[in-house]
Amino acid sequence: MCRAVLRESPGHRQALCCLGSIASRRGQFATAISHFRAALALDPTDASVHEHVANALFGLGQPGEALASYDRVLALKPDLADTHFRRANALRALKRLEEAVAGYERALALRPNYAEALNNRGNALCLLRHQAEALASYDRALAIRPDYVQALNNRGNALRDLRRLEEALASYDRALVIDPKFVPALNNRGNVLLDLQRPQDALASYDLALAISPANIESLNHRGAALHMLKEDEEAIRTYEQLLKVRPDFDYVRGKILGLKLLCCDWRDYDRSVGLVARDVALGKRSAYPLIFLSVSDAADEQLKCAKIYCTTGGSPWRPPQHRARRRSDKIRVAYVSADYRDHPVADLTAGLFEAHDKARFETTAISLGPAVKDPMRQRLECAFDRFIDVQQTSDADTGLLLKELEIDIAVDLMGHTLGARTEIFAARPVPIQVNFLGYPGTMGTNYIDYIFADRFVIPEHQHSFYTEKVVYLPDSFQPNDSRRRIAELTPRRAEAGLPETGFVFCSFNGNHKINPPVFDVWMRLLRRVEGSLLWLRADKPVAVANLRREAEARGVAGERLVFAERTEKPAMHLARYRLADLFLDTLPYNAHATASDALWAGLPIVTCLGSAFSGRVAGSLLNAVGLPELVTFDLEAYEALAFELARDGDRLAAIKAKLARNRETYPLFDTDRFRRHIESAYRTMWERHLRGEPPASFAVIPDP
């Protein structure tokens, strides 16, 4: 009809607008714009047509152009609440968030009961990290429209950000009572159930969402996370592979699949998978989480790029801290932030340091992000600090405010990019000096962490450019150790550990994700060359055991020559059983870290191969600090040769073990108080620079005599 009118009257404005409206409803926005602009050429003062153009531009994903058109509408008719609302949506899409909030408020001034404006105002406030104010906005919207499922869902998101998890769950449940098929609420309900450590319930929520929308990418992504938490990694891999088919460019999915396959020791298509992830990182894509990338990359520059990609977010911009006056107290206040104040490798390494801090010169605070697990280590740590504060249910913003209120001088992140980290606490810059230490062996790739603790072995001076932090060199080794760790006096018999009574025992208790085909090739050649030898590994998941034995068979080694140590709940007994092994074989590109300290503390020598990046140089650092540099090799050929020689030459190996036993008592590696003095010296230097108004700079701590 409209086209017939236009054939007779090409300048018929109503017909042009009619065609534009039809095209818009069909999603044909470019066609719609051409019709509307033809109508505007006939009458440029028609505000409603300018509005149609703006809406179509927004539909095309051109919020900047849409904004200009909305401004033309408001220049003609400034009191249109809907136009202010849509203009604010365009501003939000452009990440001009403060302006977007102001736009929603102008719409609300014209129409106070505008529920959609209240909802979207809340969304913009959440992006600005003003969750408490956003929550009030959602509640106002719901007072107007109690059945507004989108607002209930968004309210749940704000509550989750505020760590009010049970309330968030209740908000999602309210939305689902109104609309049981509202997929976003089903997804978000699953997410908060994961936060509450209820993965089975979360899985059920994701499965409901997928029954409604089988290709929903968010449901597939989070379903994979729930399955991983349930230790159903093979099914998690299949879920992520399904996601990859639906959306090949979905953030981090390739890395997640690779990481889970490493945990399962599933090396089918290993080279191709690693190559694709490395290629994507080089191209600036969100391909792998930094922690996963450490297992497959031996290049510090690549690891820096991966970390920078991960830290690039769409949230509100970073703002520098406001300078505050110095307190009267002479003590330096140090806060250690971790989710691992429990039976965990980081706690094993640091407990003695925390207890040893000079209470006359330092005031220490533990900021605990993780569950309050009441194991012996947690009980010990709660007594080690001047203050121990559980912030598991405190939002990132409120945790940052807490650090400010406590007037913390130096905040030490013991997490980095590891599971349970909450880097947004540091992104808000609540503390004058912020430090990356121990938990993550690499750069954070951010502008809000000032320093990283290292030693000259793990970060050579020529690699400083690959770290966004300034490098602080500690003498000896960057890794602390607890000289109070107890080893059971009674060594178990080999049979009790599932080992044969005779034969050379190669050992590697590293996590499965650190084992890879090139290193495993070396291990299998050693087993073939050393008659009667076996390889003692850590038991993890049955699929990994089966895969490793299959890989051994494929390399000509009987699967039963791989023996797997079950987890023991008694740390002292775990350390004692290291005595049953003859030689520890390290991994590359991700070395043994806390596990290497365990072995050396128990008297078991380690053969390591030096990598190029921090994560591949840690065992070498530890061996140097305990006076055994002869066990550090520089390529896998030399690594294999040294391990073979030590397995063949019992006298030489016995001499190394005796040397380790002597050096353990006299060399710096296990001298907790020496390490404490050095790290406190580093804190004083950092703080003195800050007081002088100087920016962070790399420096080296002068060692004690």
Structure tokens at 144: 């107007």
Rounded (5°) CA angle 140-181-227 = 105
Q: How many domains does the chain have?
A: 2
**Beta-ladder partners of 228:** none
CA dihedral of residues 612, 618, 619, 621 (deg, nearest 10): 100
Burial class (CB in 10 A: 0-12, 13-18, 19+), 601: buried
Run of H or E residues at 207: helix 199-212
Amino acid at residue number 553: E
Cα of 187 vs its chain's centroid, Å: 20
* Residue 120 located in a structural domain: no
Q: Do the Cβ atoms of 232 and 200 come closer than 8 Å? A: no
Whether residue 665 lies inside any domain: the answer is yes
Taking the whole predicted model, whether its pTM rises above 0.95 is answered as no
Question: Residues 417, 462: one domain?
Answer: yes
Residues 6+ apart with CB under 8 A from 340: 346, 347, 370, 414, 415, 420, 439
Q: Judge residue 389's burial from the number of C-beta atoms within 10 Å of its C-beta, 0-12 exposed, 13-18 middle, 19 or more buried.
A: middle
What is the predicted pLDDT for the residue at 47? 78
Same domain, 462 and 534: no
SS3 content of the chain, % helix, strand, coil (to 5): 55, 10, 35
Q: What is the pLDDT of residue 6?
A: 46
Spatial separation of the C-alpha atoms in residues 120 and 107, rounded to whole Å: 11
The residue written with tokens 């998941």 in the block is: 541
| Statement to judge: residues 574 and 665 lie in one domain | yes
Backbone angles phi, psi at 488, to 5 degrees: -55, 135
Can you tell me the distance from the alpha carbon of 151 to that of 139, in angstroms, rounded to the nearest whole number?
Answer: 8
Enter the tokens of residue 418.
């590891």
**Residue 575 domain-assigned (yes or no):** yes
Do 518 and 616 reside in the same domain of the chain?
A: yes
pLDDT at 15: 58
Residues 464 and 517 in one domain: no
Per-residue pLDDT at 329: 63
- Say what the pLDDT of residue 346 is: 97
Angle between helices 115-127 and 149-161 (to 10 degrees): 20
**CA–CA dist 350, 338 (Å, integer):** 11
CATH of the domain at 605: 3.40.50.2000
Asked if 586 and 648 sit in the same domain, the reply is: yes
| The token pair that represents 151 in the structure block | 């607002």
Please check whether residues 436 and 498 belong to one and the same domain. no
- Do 483 and 671 form a contact (C-beta atoms < 8 A)? yes
Instruction: Give the three-class secondary structure for 186.
Output: helix
- With respect to residue 419, please indicate whether it lies within any of the assigned structural domains: yes
* 463/542 same-domain check: no
Q: Please tell me whether residues 563 and 651 are part of one structural domain.
A: yes
Residues 6 or more apart whose CB falls under 8 angstroms from that of 386 comprise 359, 363, 364, 365
CA distance to 73, 112, 134, 173, 572, per residue, from 155 (Å): 32, 19, 8, 12, 48
Q: How far apart are CA 410 and CA 422, in angstroms?
A: 17
| 402 and 363 within one domain | yes
Residue 531 belongs to a domain = yes
**The pLDDT value given to residue 56:** 78
Structure confidence at residue 96 (pLDDT): 95
Candidates 147, 144, 210; CA nearest to 183 is 210
Q: Is residue 504 part of a domain?
A: yes
| Residues in contact with 693: Cβ distance below 8 Å, sequence separation at least 6, in sequence order | none
The residue ranges of DSSP E strands in 331-409, in sequence order, are 332-338, 362-368, 387-390
Q: What is the pLDDT of residue 133?
A: 96
* Sign of the torsion angle spanned by Cα atoms 510, 514, 518, 524: positive
Give the integer Cα–Cα distance in Å for 335 and 388: 10
Shared domain check, 376 and 499: no
Q: How far is CA 544 from CA 262, 263, 264, 265, in A?
A: 9, 7, 4, 5
Give the number of other CB atoms < 10 A from CB of residue 176.
Answer: 19
Distance CA 389, CA 62 (A): 47
Residue 315 lies in a domain: no
- For the record, the structure tokens of 131 come out as 């969750």
387 φ/ψ angles, rounded to the nearest 5 degrees = -140, 140
Residue 56's closest CA among 15, 26, 88?
A: 26
- Residue 609 sits at φ, ψ, to 5 deg, of -115, 125
Nearest alpha carbon to residue 605 among 673, 560, 662, 561 = 662
Q: Which helix (H) or strand (E) holds 460?
A: none
Domain of residue 661 covers 494-670
In a domain, 274, yes or no: no
CB atoms within 10 A of CB 397: 19
Give the per-residue pLDDT at 461.
Answer: 97
User: What pLDDT shows up at residue 200?
Assistant: 98
Radius of gyration of the chain (CA): 30
Same-domain pairing of 337 and 441: yes
| CATH label of the domain that carries residue 447 | 3.40.50.11380
Separation CA 564–CA 548 (nearest Å): 10
In this structure, what are the phi and psi dihedrals at residue 306, rounded to the nearest 5 degrees? -60, -45
Which residues, given as ranges, of the chain have pLDDT below 70?
1-23, 32-33, 35-36, 38-42, 313-329
CB of 118 closer than 8 Å to CB of 108: yes
